[in-house]
């Protein structure tokens, strides 16, 4: 099941002998050992709810339906309901940050793509905070966002990062559109789309242009003891951290550096750097607000239908088809998307148009 912190990073922390990080090592080991809820049934319920509801036609802008619950440091979902749409701020920082992050993601999807929630049909946005004891992760359960509090030594918490909240909710959106197998290149595309929409939601909330944006996933979740700025960089894969305990960010930004591994479901959190970089190059070529054109191409690619086992080459071709359908055969959007994939080696420079 997708989670924002990859297992190889938690394993590095769990294996550290640094006495200053003893609590973090124990917390990472516990996080790795805890099973997360299975997603299959939840994905099927989400799919059926969309089919049964039909297409929602709204004459006014829709509003989110948010519910935040508190697991009270237990590993049980959903927990105790603590805030809904009609409730004032709770005073619990994690609760209120999660509530605001759900709303900001909803606003992004509606303003950028005209999508009413992650299911496209106005379904509730649910989250649970304070999951487990010093739980070092956040994940999409198939029905809700789930946040741990972090260990306080390496991770300071996850609810304060809008890019993380939108990333995990995007896994729900991907599920709603049929899903992408969480293995190998299709899994890396799954992670990449979540990263892309995560940073776009953050850019949308801040009003940042391509040039103003940080393009970082999870900025601010590390403590000051970590030599790093975020979990990943969409702009410059492989540069997010370089730390004695965490090691160096392993993401490649070009197909020639693709990592063959049996870990992390075939390197889904690692090789996602390649399509991430392709998106950034596309957005940078187009300029302006990245969600307006580059983001629309990627959104249309996902919602026009993808094979669940699609590879990088197939996804690149699908983005070009989406750009042509949206903007026209000879548009600068098609050229920018093609150049983005050329820039990461997925399409060969000089090869016929895909």
Cβ atoms 337, 319 nearer than 8 A: yes
Interatomic CA distance for residues 57 and 281, integer angstroms: 35
Angle at which helix 7-14 crosses helix 22-33, to 10 degrees, equals: 140
pLDDT digits (tens, 9 = 90+) for 170-196: 999 999 999 999 999 999 999 999 999
Residue 3 has a pLDDT of 87
For residue 46, what pLDDT band results from cuts at 50, 70 and 90?
Answer: very low
Which architecture characterizes domain 1-179 according to CATH?
Roll (3.10)
Mean pLDDT of all residues in 88-109:
97
Dump the DSSP string for 266-279.
Answer: HHHHHHTHHHHHHH
pLDDT digits (tens, 9 = 90+) for 136-154: 999 999 999 999 999 999 9
Cβ atoms 18, 245 nearer than 8 A: yes
For residue 9, what pLDDT band results from cuts at 50, 70 and 90?
Answer: very high
Residues taking part in catalysis: 168, 269
35 pLDDT exceeds 80? no
Dump the DSSP string for 119-152.
Answer: TSS---EEEEES-TTT---EEE-SSSEEE----S
CATH topology for 183-192+206-218+251-354? Neutral Protease; domain 2 (1.10.390)
Give backbone dihedrals phi and psi of 211, rounded to 5 degrees, phi first: -75, -35
Indicate the domain borders of the chain: 1-179, 183-192+206-218+251-354
Mean pLDDT of all residues in 305-330:
97
């Amino acid at each position: 099941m997708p989670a924002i912190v990859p297992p190889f990073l938690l394993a590095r922390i769990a294996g550290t002998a640094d006495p200053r990080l003893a609590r973090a090592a124990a917390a990472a080991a516990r996080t790795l050992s805890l099973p997360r809820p299975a997603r299959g049934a939840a994905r099927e319920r989400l799919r059926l709810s969309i089919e049964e509801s039909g297409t929602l036609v709204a004459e006014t802008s829709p509003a989110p339906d948010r519910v935040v619950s508190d697991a009270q440091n237990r590993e049980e979902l959903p927990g105790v309901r603590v805030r809904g749409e009609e409730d004032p701020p709770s005073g619990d920082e994690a609760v209120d940050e999660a509530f605001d992050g759900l709303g900001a993601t909803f606003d992004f999807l509606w303003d950028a793509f005209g999508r009413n929630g992650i299911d496209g049909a106005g379904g509730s946005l649910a989250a649970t905070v304070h999951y487990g004891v010093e739980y070092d992760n956040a994940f999409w359960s198939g029905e809700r966002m789930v946040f741990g509090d972090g260990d306080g030594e390496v991770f300071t918490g996850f609810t304060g990062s809008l890019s993380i909240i939108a990333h995990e909710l995007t896994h729900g959106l991907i599920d709603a559109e049929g899903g992408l197998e969480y293995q190998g290149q299709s899994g890396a595309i799954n992670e990449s789309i979540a990263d892309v929409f995560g940073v776009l939601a953050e850019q949308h909330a801040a009003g940042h242009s391509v040039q103003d944006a940080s393009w970082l996933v999870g900025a601010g979740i590390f403590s000051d003891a970590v030599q790093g700025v975020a979990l990943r960089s969409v702009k410059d894969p492989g540069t997010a951290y370089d730390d004695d305990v965490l090691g160096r960010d392993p993401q490649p930004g070009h197909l020639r550096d693709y990592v063959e591994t049996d870990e992390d479901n075939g390197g889904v959190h690692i090789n996602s750097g390649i399509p991430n970089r392709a998106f950034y190059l596309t957005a940078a070529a187009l300029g302006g607000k990245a969600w307006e054109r580059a983001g629309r191409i990627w959104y249309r690619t996902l919602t026009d239908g993808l094979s669940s086992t699609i590879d990088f080459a197939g996804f690149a071709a699908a983005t070009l088809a989406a750009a042509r359908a949206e903007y026209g055969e000879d548009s600068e959007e098609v050229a920018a998307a093609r150049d983005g994939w050329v820039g990461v080696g997925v399409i060969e420079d000089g090869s016929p148009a895909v």
